[in-house]
Homo-oligomer: A and B are copies of this chain.
Amino acid sequence: MNMTKNNENRTILPEPTIRRLPWYLSYVRMLDNQNVSYVSSTQISKELNVQSSQIAKDLSFLNIRGKTRIGYEVKSLVTELEDFLGFDKQHNAVVIGTGSLGTALIQDHGLEHYGLNIVAGFDVRGDVIGQRLGDVPIYNINQLADWQREHRVSIAILTVPVEKAQEVADLAVSSGMTALWNFTPYRIKTPEGVAIANTSIYAHLAIIYNRMQDQER
């Protein structure tokens, strides 16, 4: 895996590491809430079922060092992980497709604690266009390009029906959005330089069903 540093001296990490770092964060946030001051990689390892050599390696990307025998300072580890993962910055986003999942994401205030600020929703359905979900206004999808010229957000969250996925992704990209969070099971094609994360919950369902067969033997 090729790792490069950018101007901000932050590292483009391999995906498995990026997936593990939020586990560590949610665990050390919990310790911090319990007023625990130090944690060792052995302790994280036992709790999260990840090898402690892997944890030490993952955390070596951060600007933090554990102390011999007492381990990492919990508060610093929380701060460094939040900073490193970008959770301490505000990132504006729009939700395209305000069905049940899109609505849930707009209403999920948990996302704010991870730096995601949803500022608008877009849809095609006349009964939701012009309404608000909490503070968030819902616009007609055909206003997206105009809206974006004024607001210049980076992230589009795609929660549209699968057959609309590519079309809506193309629209978001041509409007100047540079990151897509794709919740459809469709494998979207994007131009080079557009960041994409696929969260296909149906694929995870396939994993559960497949693992359950194991139990049936």
A interface residues with partner B (beta carbon < 8 Å): 4, 6-8, 10, 12-13, 15, 18-19, 21-23, 25-27, 29-30, 33, 47-50, 85-87, 89, 91, 99-101, 103-104, 107-108, 110-111, 114-116, 154-155, 162-163, 178-179, 181, 184-187, 189, 193, 195-217
- Contact pick for A21, options B22, B201, B206, CB 8 Å: B206
Contact at B163–A33, with CB atoms within 8 Å?
Answer: yes
A197 to chain B minimum Cβ distance, whole angstroms, is 4
**Residues of B close to A100: CB separation below 8 A:** 104, 107-108
List the number of copies, as a whole number: 2
5 A/B residue pairs, CB under 8 Å, sorted by A? A26-B185, A49-B187, A87-B209, A111-B205, A178-B212
Q: Which residue of B lies closest to A165 (CB)?
A: B26
- Name the residue in A6, A22, A87, A99 with the highest tally of chain B Cβ atoms < 10 Å from its Cβ: A22
Distance between A43 CB and nearest chain B CB, rounded to angstroms: 13
How many Å lie between the Cα of A156 and that of B115 in the bound state? Answer: 29
Task: Indicate which residue in B10, B22, B198 contacts A203 across the interface (CB closer than 8 Å).
Answer: B22
